[in-house]
Structure 1
Amino acid sequence: MTEPDAAAALRLDLHARALGDMSSGKPKRLVRALEYQAEDLAPEAMDLATEADFLSVLRGARATDQLVEMWRKQLTRWDYHENALWSGHPPRTDGRRAEAYALLGVGEETGKHLDTLVPVSKAAGTVVISTEHKLWYTPQSLQGRPWYWPAYRRLLTEKGWPEDVVAGLDEATDRVVERLADPTAPEAYQSKGLVVGYVQSGKTANFAGVIAKAMDAGYRLVIVLGGTLNMLRAQTQRRLDMELVGRENIMRGGTEYESDYADDPAWSQGKFAAFGAMPSTLGAFDIHRMTTRDVDYQSLQQGIAALESDKQEPGLPLCHPRNLHRAAARLMVVKKNSTVLEKLVKDLRKIQTPLSEIPVLIVDDESDEASVNTSNLAKPDAERTAINRKISELLRMLPRAQYVGYTATPFANVFIDPSDTEDIFPKDFIISLPRPDGYMGARDFHDLDSDLSEEERTFANSNEMAHVRSIVMEDDEDDTCLERAMDMFLLTAAMKLYREDKGGLDDRYFQHHTMLIHESVRQDDHRELLARVTRLWWNAGYSGAAGRDRLRTLFDTDVAPVSAVRADGQSVPASFEDLAPYIGPAVIRIGGDDKPIIVVNGDKDIETGEADFDKRSIWKILIGGQKLARGFTVEGLTVSYFRRRAGNASTLMQMGRWFGFRKGYQDLVRLYLGRQEAMGKKEIDLYEGFEAICRDEEAFRAELAQYSVTVDGRPQVTPDQVPPLVWQHIPWLKPTSPNKMYNSRLVTVRSPGEWQEPTAYPTKTVDLRHNTNLWTPVLDGLSAESTRLSYRFAEKNVTHRFPALTGRMGSRELLDLVSRARWGAPSQFAPHLDYLREITMSEPAQVDDWIVLAPQHAQPGKRIRLGSSGRTYSYFGRDRRRAPLFGAISDVKHRAAAMRIAGSLTDSGDATVEGLVAPRRGVIVLYPVVESAHRTGLGEGDSLDPSQVVMAFGFVAPASARSDDGRVLRFTTVDSSQEGVAIIDTATGATSD
Structure 2
Amino acid sequence: MSQKNMELLEKLLRDCIYSKYEERPLEENEFLQEAEDIRRKAEALAPVDDEEFEAVKKRLRVQFAVNLDVGTYVRDEQTEHQSWLPARRAEIDPFFWNRYRKYLEDAKGWNPRVIANLGRVADEILDLCGDPQQKKFAIKGLIMGDVQSGKTANYTAICNKAADAGYHIIIVLAGIPKNLRRQTQERLDAEFSGRRSDYFLDTHAKANLKNAPYGVGRYGTEKSIASFTSVVKDFDINVLRGNNLDISNVNCPILFVVKKNKSILNNLIGWLGNSKKNEQGQIELPLLLIDDESDNASVNTHDMVKDPETEPTAINAGIRRLLKLFAQSTYLGVTATPFANIFINPEQDDDLFPSDFIYTLSAPSNYIGAEDIFGDDAKHDDMLETINDNERERCLPLKHKKTYQVKGLPRDLYEAAGYFLLTNAVRDVRGDVTAHRSMMVHISRFNDIQQQIADFLTAWLDRMRSALRNYAQLPAEEAEHIKEIHTLHAIFNDSRFHLEEKSGMSWDTLLEKYLYKAVAPVEVRAVNMTTGTASLDYSQHKKDGLRVIAIGGDALSRGLTLEGLCVTYFCRTTAMYDTLLQMGRWFGYRPHYDDLVKVWMTEEEMDWYGEITRATTELRDEIREMRDTHQTPRDFGLRVKQAPGSLIVTARNKMRTAKTVTQPISVSGRLLETPRLIADHAVLDENERIFKAFIAQLPERGTRLMDEERTHGHAYWQNVPGDCVAGLLRAFKTNPWHLSFNGEGLADYIGQHKELSLWDVVVLGKGEGSAYPDGLVCGNKHLTIANTEVRKVALNGRMLSISGTKVRVGSVGCTRIGLTRQEAKAAEAAFRAETGISAERSVPDRAFLTRMRHPILFLHIIQAKYDPAIEKNWPKFLFALGVGFPKTEDGETQTAMYVVNLVQLRNASNDIDMDTDD
* Same-fold status (TM-score > 0.5): yes
Partner of 1:804: 714
Partner of 2:548: 620
1:692 aligns with 2:630: no
1:224 maps to amino acid: V
1:402 aligns with 2:330: yes
Partner of 1:428: 356
Partner of 2:762: 853
Match of 1:662 among 575, 590, 594: 590
What's the offset of the Cα at 1:940?
Answer: 8.6
Q: Aligned partners of 1:864 and 1:907: how far apart in 2?
A: 34
Match of 2:517 among 545, 569, 585: 585
2:285 maps to amino acid: I
Partner of 1:308: 247
Give the 5 Å matches for 1:708-719: 708-710=627-629, 718-719=635-636
Partner of 2:653: 737
1:297 maps to amino acid: F
Describe the shift of the 1:613–1:722 C-alpha distance in structure 2 as closer, same or farther (beyond 3 A).
farther
The answer to which of 482-491 and 780-789 deviates more is 780-789
CA contact (8 A) 1:490 1:586 kept: yes
Partner of 2:450: 526
1:561 aligns with 2:483: no
Q: Aligned partners of 2:644 and 2:665: how far apart in 1?
A: 15
What's the offset of the Cα at 1:648?
Answer: 1.3
Deviations 1:260-281 (A, max 9, x none): 999xxxx9996443344341xx
Partner of 1:573: 505
What's the offset of the Cα at 1:309?
Answer: 3.0
Q: Aligned partners of 1:58 and 1:664: how far apart in 2?
A: 20
Describe the shift of the 1:756–1:362 C-alpha distance in structure 2 as closer, same or farther (beyond 3 A).
same
Give the secondary-structure state (helix, strand or coil) at the position aligned to 1:554. helix
What's the offset of the Cα at 1:542?
Answer: 3.1
Partner of 2:371: 443
Deviations 1:818-846 (A, max 9, x none): 799987688779999999949x9xxxxxx
Partner of 1:203: 151
Match of 2:385 among 439, 446, 468: 468
What's the offset of the Cα at 1:563?
Answer: 7.2
Q: Aligned partners of 2:127 and 2:539: how far apart in 1?
A: 36
Match of 2:301 among 360, 367, 374: 374
Partner of 1:78: none
Match of 1:128 among 67, 73, 76: 73
Describe the shift of the 1:900–1:389 C-alpha distance in structure 2 as closer, same or farther (beyond 3 A).
farther
What's the offset of the Cα at 1:893?
Answer: 5.1
Deviations 1:970-990 (A, max 9, x none): 589xxxxxxxxxxx9597799
Deviations 1:863-882 (A, max 9, x none): 98567546458799999999
What's the offset of the Cα at 1:423?
Answer: 1.9
Partner of 1:143: 90
Q: Aligned partners of 2:635 and 2:274: how far apart in 1?
A: 38
2:72 maps to amino acid: V
What's the offset of the Cα at 1:338?
Answer: 0.3
Q: Aligned partners of 1:211 and 1:829: how far apart in 2?
A: 52
What's the offset of the Cα at 1:720?
Answer: 3.5
Give the secondary-structure state (helix, strand or coil) at the position aligned to 1:178. helix
Deviations 1:194-245 (A, max 9, x none): 1111111111001111112222222211111001011000100111110111
Compare CA radii of gyration and give the structure with the larger one.
1
1:359 aligns with 2:359: no
Partner of 2:173: 225
Partner of 1:350: 274
1:723 maps to amino acid: V
Q: Aligned partners of 2:513 and 2:853: how far apart in 1?
A: 66
Q: Aligned partners of 1:721 and 1:918: how far apart in 2?
A: 22
Give the secondary-structure state (helix, strand or coil) at the position aligned to 1:222. strand
Give the 5 Å matches for 1:793-832: 804-809=714-719
Give the secondary-structure state (helix, strand or coil) at the position aligned to 2:321. helix
Over the aligned positions, Cα root-mean-square deviation in angstroms equals 5.5
What's the offset of the Cα at 1:652?
Answer: 1.8
What's the offset of the Cα at 1:663?
Answer: 0.5
What's the offset of the Cα at 1:888?
Answer: 4.9
Give the 5 Å matches for 1:382-421: 382-421=310-349
Q: Aligned partners of 1:547 and 1:141: how far apart in 2?
A: 66
Structure 2: gaps of 5 or more residues = 1-14, 39-62, 396-407, 472-481, 731-741, 829-847, 865-870, 903-918
Q: Aligned partners of 2:170 and 2:559: how far apart in 1?
A: 20
CA contact (8 A) 1:747 1:971 kept: yes
1:549 aligns with 2:476: no
Give the secondary-structure state (helix, strand or coil) at the position aligned to 1:438. coil
Partner of 1:273: 217
Deviations 1:173-202 (A, max 9, x none): 22321111222223x221111111111111
1:672 aligns with 2:603: no
What's the offset of the Cα at 1:715?
Answer: 5.6
CA contact (8 A) 1:864 1:873 kept: yes
What's the offset of the Cα at 1:249?
Answer: 8.6
1:485 aligns with 2:416: yes
Q: Aligned partners of 1:606 and 1:721: how far apart in 2?
A: 38
2:859 maps to amino acid: Y
What's the offset of the Cα at 1:383?
Answer: 2.6
CA contact (8 A) 2:342 2:641 kept: no
1:487 maps to amino acid: G
Describe the shift of the 1:149–1:721 C-alpha distance in structure 2 as closer, same or farther (beyond 3 A).
farther
CA contact (8 A) 1:815 1:837 kept: no
Q: Aligned partners of 1:772 and 1:422: how far apart in 2?
A: 56
Percent identity over paired residues: 24
Partner of 1:681: none
Q: Aligned partners of 1:303 and 1:242: how far apart in 2?
A: 24
Q: Aligned partners of 1:303 and 1:269: how far apart in 2?
A: 23
Structure 1: gaps of 5 or more residues = 1-11, 24-56, 70-117, 280-285, 312-326, 451-460, 501-507, 591-595, 677-684, 792-801, 841-848, 909-915, 943-948, 973-983
1:156 aligns with 2:104: yes
Match of 2:130 among 181, 187, 190: 181
Deviations 1:898-922 (A, max 9, x none): 56657233799xxxxxxx9999666
Deviations 1:517-567 (A, max 9, x none): 222232211321222111111123334432222111111114752674xx6
CA contact (8 A) 2:174 2:260 kept: yes
Partner of 2:231: 293
Match of 2:812 among 885, 892, 897: 892
CA contact (8 A) 2:437 2:566 kept: yes
Q: Aligned partners of 1:917 and 1:340: how far apart in 2?
A: 52
Partner of 2:58: none
CA contact (8 A) 2:716 2:761 kept: yes
Match of 2:527 among 593, 597, 600: 600
CA contact (8 A) 2:132 2:286 kept: yes
Give the secondary-structure state (helix, strand or coil) at the position aligned to 1:468. strand
1:333 aligns with 2:257: yes
1:191 maps to amino acid: I
Describe the shift of the 1:969–1:902 C-alpha distance in structure 2 as closer, same or farther (beyond 3 A).
farther
Q: Aligned partners of 1:261 and 1:899: how far apart in 2?
A: 71
Q: Aligned partners of 1:511 and 1:646: how far apart in 2?
A: 33
TM-score (norm 1): 0.65
Deviations 1:572-629 (A, max 9, x none): 3255535541102112232xxxxx2233224359986745467552012222232211
CA contact (8 A) 2:145 2:360 kept: yes
Partner of 1:644: 572
Give the secondary-structure state (helix, strand or coil) at the position aligned to 2:825. coil
Q: How many residues align?
A: 766
Describe the shift of the 1:445–1:869 C-alpha distance in structure 2 as closer, same or farther (beyond 3 A).
same
Q: Aligned partners of 2:876 and 2:677: how far apart in 1?
A: 26
Describe the shift of the 1:241–1:890 C-alpha distance in structure 2 as closer, same or farther (beyond 3 A).
same
What's the offset of the Cα at 1:632?
Answer: 0.6
CA contact (8 A) 2:129 2:330 kept: yes
CA contact (8 A) 1:629 1:654 kept: yes
Describe the shift of the 1:726–1:576 C-alpha distance in structure 2 as closer, same or farther (beyond 3 A).
farther
Give the secondary-structure state (helix, strand or coil) at the position aligned to 1:142. helix
Match of 2:621 among 688, 692, 702: 702
